Chain A
Amino acid sequence: MNIRQLLPWIAGAALITLPFVYRDPYHLHILILILIWSFAYTSWSMMGRFGLVSLGHGGFMGVGAYVTALLWNHLGVSPWIGIPIAMVAAAVLAMIVAYPCFRFRITGHYFVLVTLALSGIVLQVITATRDYTGGSLGYTPDRTKGSQLWALQFDDKVTWYLIALGVWAAGLAIWKWVDRSMDRYALEAISEDEDAAAAAGVNVTWEKLKITVISALMTALAGALYCQYQMFISPDTVSGIAVSLQMVFAVIVGGLYVSLGPTVGAIITILLAETLRIGFGTKAVGWDNLVYGVLLVVFIIFLPKGILGSIIDRVKAARRA
């Protein structure tokens, strides 16, 4: 084993021991948010990296969060059962929309706008069923007393940090798994030229559907985790077009084509938002999104591979030289 193979294990061990050495609750809170959102962004880029740009992931995240919370509050179903149900619900939703899209070859602009409609629907349904979901005022899962494994509610940040870390690492593992599979080559061929890929014997519809369902399952899990950790969800924070765009933005900034790109994007965006919040206080309302938006435009024009992607390119070029 050389140093390159050892590096992920060392980094992993360091991340696991971190909360036992350093226990500042505010910093842990930021780290947990970064990990959960990193996982959500990774889920989005599972599709995005193959040219399947979806603005419907806000919808999947909303389904994940709301189904879990509704099952718990109204039927008393534990999140341990509720989260898988929510994930399946999001996957079914993804299939209902994605299968005809892929079957009838709705791609590019059209695919983006169809998925945009999807996140619009989820947002409107959550708002319209306000008798159950609280509408735009938000929704809180019923609290249990203290930490309860059954209810997936924990008072201390360390537990949550470890859960989020585990899920995030699993997300990276899925990325690696896709990266090494034959599907990756098939999907890359599809993103270059669908007709050529189909002629070469790739089942275009099936390959796209697989990656979409994987992505939707992961995004719903991210939504459910966010709900269980924050204990408060509202249509604006977990669903809708703004959340979908936020995912795209973070991934583009971090780097779409590298496994740690979405994570770098999450670190940058969340730290930026927090810095602005602390620096400006209540005056910061709007400033963070203003900076986001300008950065997004600047990045797409000048640095379309994202920060991490560009750095890796530079390093590789320097090695070759």
Chain B
Amino acid sequence: MTDIFDIYLLEAMVNGILLGGVLALLALGLNLIFGVIDVTWICYAELVMIGMYGMYYLVQYFGLSYYLAAPITIVMVAALGALLHLLVIAPLLSAPPINQLLATGGVLFVLQSFATVAFGIDFRNLGIRLPVLKFAEMHFSYSRLLAFAAALIGMTLVYFFMKKTYVGTAIRAISQDRQIMALMGVDTRRIYLITSALGGALAGLAACLLVLQYDIHPFVGLSFGPITFLIVVLGGLGNFVGGFVAAFVFAEIISLGGLFSDLEWGYVLAFAFFIVMMFIRPAGLLARRS
């Protein structure tokens, strides 16, 4: 009896790690935008949702292959991110932070209802069913393995972009001191725009990966949006490494909680854990104690 139980436990733990990869990707995008522009995009998961619809239509209606549709979707969502910055965030840069937060909350409504109006509320899926990998009596879906690998590659690319290129260096510099960089001759507006597009691109990549696991509907963003915010806050807003660690902690809690009871209880546990952690480490998991 205990043997079988341990196999399930191990399977749930591995699945948790696989889920954590995609969550870490989303957390990275949000952290990037927060770290540089000092804005939280409440509508971030809705960008993913739009990207998922993009994948659906590209594959189902235009008959493109998955691997051709994915780059197009990433570019499209990146453009959407840049547009969001130009239309909503740029006019509000000097407004109180709460107003920026609420404005992106408004965009959340807009994107959700736009999807409802344009695509209807039916559940759709890509129709691609990837095989299931059997390994030592455990079952893992290829879609999750692919998502995990692609998320890691995406994060590595962003890492090298930030470390090796001029624009990446400028982005990191701005996240350290917003005022001084403008005096150093860096065009902050351009950097903000690039960062927003990059954040959008990460959302687009997440969309390409999540579309393999989730059915698409206008409210699909709610099933991973709130959890992403909690991850980012738990890791410390703007703290890339913290967000990465927190993503895996959360994914494990959800996955293991779901093993012992319903999936909802996994979420309840994760939320409760978050609130408790906020009191123990209010500035994030990896923050130094002042």
- A152: which B residues are within 8 A, CB to CB? none
Q: A109-B237, A113-B40 are in contact. Are A300 and B230 (CB under 8 A)?
A: no
At the interface, yes or no: A293 with Cβ under 8 Å from chain B?
A: yes
- B117: which A residues are within 8 A, CB to CB? 285-287, 290
At the interface, yes or no: A245 with Cβ under 8 Å from chain B?
A: yes
Q: A121-B268, A124-B267, A128-B265 are in contact. Are A289 and B109 (CB under 8 A)?
A: yes
Q: How many residues of B contact A (CB 8 A)?
A: 46
- B220: which A residues are within 8 A, CB to CB? none
At the interface, yes or no: A297 with Cβ under 8 Å from chain B?
A: yes
User: From residue B194, how far is it (CB to closest CB) to chain A in Å?
Assistant: 23
At the interface, yes or no: A177 with Cβ under 8 Å from chain B?
A: no
Pick from A116, A128, A252, A290: contact of B113, CB below 8 A.
A290
At the interface, yes or no: A78 with Cβ under 8 Å from chain B?
A: no
**Stretch of B68-76, B91-99, B160-168 that contacts chain A:** B91-99
Q: A289-B113, A290-B117 are in contact. Are A297 and B107 (CB under 8 A)?
A: yes
- B222: which A residues are within 8 A, CB to CB? 241
Q: How many residues of A contact B (CB 8 A)?
A: 43
Chain B contacts with A in 236-290, Cβ cutoff 8 A:
237, 262, 264-265, 267-268, 271-272, 274-275, 278-279, 282
When chains A and B are docked, how far (Å) is the Cα of A287 from the Cα of B222? Answer: 19
At the interface, yes or no: B83 with Cβ under 8 Å from chain A?
A: no
- B218: which A residues are within 8 A, CB to CB? 286
- A97: which B residues are within 8 A, CB to CB? 275
Identify the closest chain A residue to B222 (Cβ): A241
At the interface, yes or no: B170 with Cβ under 8 Å from chain A?
A: no
**Stretch of A32-40, A98-106, A165-173 that contacts chain B:** A98-106
Interface membership of chain A positions 291-319, coded 1 if the CB is closer than 8 angstroms to chain B and 0 otherwise: 01111110011001000000000000000
Pick from B99, B114, B274: contact of A290, CB below 8 A.
B114
At the interface, yes or no: B195 with Cβ under 8 Å from chain A?
A: no
Question: A108 to B106, Cβ gap below 8 A?
Answer: no
- B109: which A residues are within 8 A, CB to CB? 245, 249, 289-290, 292-293, 296
User: From residue B92, how far is it (CB to closest CB) to chain A in Å?
Assistant: 6
Pick from B91, B97, B229, B264: contact of A113, CB below 8 A.
B229
Pick from B101, B108, B229, B232: contact of A293, CB below 8 A.
B108
- A292: which B residues are within 8 A, CB to CB? 106, 109, 113
Question: A124 to B107, Cβ gap below 8 A?
Answer: no
Q: A128-B265, A290-B110 are in contact. Are A301 and B116 (CB under 8 A)?
A: no
When chains A and B are docked, how far (Å) is the Cα of A135 from the Cα of B114? Answer: 27
Question: B275 to A114, Cβ gap below 8 A?
Answer: yes
At the interface, yes or no: B102 with Cβ under 8 Å from chain A?
A: yes
When chains A and B are docked, how far (Å) is the Cα of A308 from the Cα of B278? Answer: 37
Question: B112 to A289, Cβ gap below 8 A?
Answer: yes
- A296: which B residues are within 8 A, CB to CB? 102-103, 105-106, 109
Question: A125 to B268, Cβ gap below 8 A?
Answer: yes
Pick from A51, A113, A293: contact of B107, CB below 8 A.
A293
- B116: which A residues are within 8 A, CB to CB? 285-286, 289-290
Q: A100-B279, A117-B275, A249-B109 are in contact. Are A128 and B230 (CB under 8 A)?
A: no
- B88: which A residues are within 8 A, CB to CB? 297, 301
At the interface, yes or no: A112 with Cβ under 8 Å from chain B?
A: yes
When chains A and B are docked, how far (Å) is the Cα of A309 from the Cα of B48? Answer: 36
Interface membership of chain A positions 138-172, coded 1 if the CB is closer than 8 angstroms to chain B and 0 otherwise: 00000000000000000000000000000000000
User: From residue A297, how far is it (CB to closest CB) to chain B in Å?
Assistant: 4
At the interface, yes or no: B63 with Cβ under 8 Å from chain A?
A: no
At the interface, yes or no: B121 with Cβ under 8 Å from chain A?
A: yes
Question: A301 to B91, Cβ gap below 8 A?
Answer: yes
At the interface, yes or no: A205 with Cβ under 8 Å from chain B?
A: no
- A295: which B residues are within 8 A, CB to CB? 106
User: From residue A237, how far is it (CB to closest CB) to chain B in Å?
Assistant: 14
Q: A104-B279, A121-B268, A128-B268 are in contact. Are A114 and B106 (CB under 8 A)?
A: no
Interface membership of chain A positions 272-293, coded 1 if the CB is closer than 8 angstroms to chain B and 0 otherwise: 0000000000000111111011
When chains A and B are docked, how far (Å) is the Cα of A24 from the Cα of B33? Answer: 52
The residue in A241, A286, A294 that gathers the most chain B C-beta atoms within 10 A of its C-beta is A286
At the interface, yes or no: A220 with Cβ under 8 Å from chain B?
A: no
- B92: which A residues are within 8 A, CB to CB? 300-301
When chains A and B are docked, how far (Å) is the Cα of A120 from the Cα of B272? Answer: 10
Question: A287 to B113, Cβ gap below 8 A?
Answer: yes
- A105: which B residues are within 8 A, CB to CB? 282
- A91: which B residues are within 8 A, CB to CB? none
Identify the closest chain A residue to B87 (Cβ): A297
Question: A300 to B40, Cβ gap below 8 A?
Answer: no
Please name 28 pairs of A and B residues whose Cβ atoms are closer than 8 Å in the assembled complex, sorted by A. A101-B278, A105-B282, A112-B98, A113-B230, A117-B274, A121-B275, A124-B264, A127-B264, A128-B265, A245-B105, A252-B102, A285-B121, A286-B112, A286-B121, A287-B117, A288-B113, A289-B113, A290-B110, A290-B114, A292-B106, A292-B113, A293-B108, A293-B112, A295-B106, A297-B107, A300-B95, A300-B103, A301-B92
The 6 A-B pairs with the shortest beta carbon distances in the complex, nearest first, are: A293-B109, A286-B116, A296-B106, A293-B110, A128-B264, A289-B113
